[in-house]
Amino acid sequence: MIGIYGGTFDPVHFGHLRTALELKSLFKLTEVRLIPCANPPHRAVPLTPPLMRLQMLQLALANRQGLVADACELARTGPSYTIDTLRELRAEQGDTPMLLFMGMDAFAGLALWHQWQHLFDYAHIVVITRPGFKMPLDLPFFDQRLAINAEVLPTIPNGKLFFQSVTQLDISATAIRLLIARREDPHFLLPDSVIDFILQHKLYKTEQAAIAAEQI
């Protein structure tokens, strides 16, 4: 069973990494694929080019077995639709169960996603919850899809909905970009190797970058 964890990762930080590591352990996954979104269809274009975001992710995951930086969305043109990524991974993985991870905010807007009804045809959806969240019982597919416990997920390749809480580190990529733009110290929010890359390539450092960061 594998996990799929997408994001802009602009930049990747310890909040992303801790979540991925906990999910790998909780679901006993062979690996978690962390996939930089090249061209997000539902939000502003990331400040940093896709290849650089991939490189930062690769640095962050160096020597970390089971957490993999996946460049599949960088190889495609046009909007980076999750359904296309799942189709590609399903063709690669055969009948291996796949878990698509998403946060509560993304799940709340799921009906706006391209071909969202077909996501369950390729993977289970695991929603990463916050303490005190309320389960959305009014969703049309809820009763049919909901898995009461995680034990069912490895037994079928796709089709179920599950809610899982993890440690929530209060770290924001937007806040990190602003710190760097203001020449403040971002250490202990993201890996040193990623900070070195950011400084080497002068990312997020101009006034224009700071303004853009506040808008993303």
Q: Write the pLDDT tens digit of every residue in 58-92.
A: 999 998 999 999 999 999 988 999 999 999 999 99
> How many CB atoms within 10 Å of residue 184?
9
What is the predicted pLDDT for the residue at 156?
Answer: 98
φ and ψ at residue 69, rounded to 5 degrees: -80, 120
Cβ(9)–Cβ(34) under 8 Å? yes
Rounded CA-CA distance 135/162 in Å is: 10
Give me the residues paired with residue 126 across strands: 101, 162
What is the predicted pLDDT for the residue at 22?
Answer: 97
* pLDDT cut 90: percent of the chain above it: 73
Is the CA virtual torsion 107, 105, 89, 34 positive or negative? negative
pLDDT at 131 over 70: no
Range in 35-49, 137-151, 184-198 with the lowest mean pLDDT: 137-151
Is the CA virtual torsion 19, 96, 72, 109 positive or negative? negative
Higher pLDDT, 119 or 139: 119
Task: List pLDDT tens digits, range 34-53.
Answer: 999 999 887 777 889 999 99
What separation in angstroms does the CA of 142 have from each of 98, 107, 127, 135, 149? 19, 12, 13, 10, 14
What is the predicted pLDDT for the residue at 150?
Answer: 96
Among 208, 205, 201, 210, residue whose Cα is nearest residue 174? 210
What is the predicted pLDDT for the residue at 132?
Answer: 64
In the chain the first and final C-alpha atoms are separated, in Å, by 33
Task: Please state the domain extents for the chain.
Answer: 2-165, 173-215
Domain spanning 2-165, CATH architecture: 3-Layer(aba) Sandwich (3.40)
What is the predicted pLDDT for the residue at 47?
Answer: 82
Collapsing DSSP states into helix, strand and coil, what is residue 127? strand
Mean per-residue pLDDT for 174-185? 92
φ and ψ at residue 98, rounded to 5 degrees: -125, 135
Rounded to two decimals, what is the model's pTM? 0.92
Cβ(60)–Cβ(87) under 8 Å? no
Rounded CA-CA distance 142/138 in Å is: 7
What is the predicted pLDDT for the residue at 208?
Answer: 63
Helices 207-215, 173-181: axis angle to 10 degrees equals 160
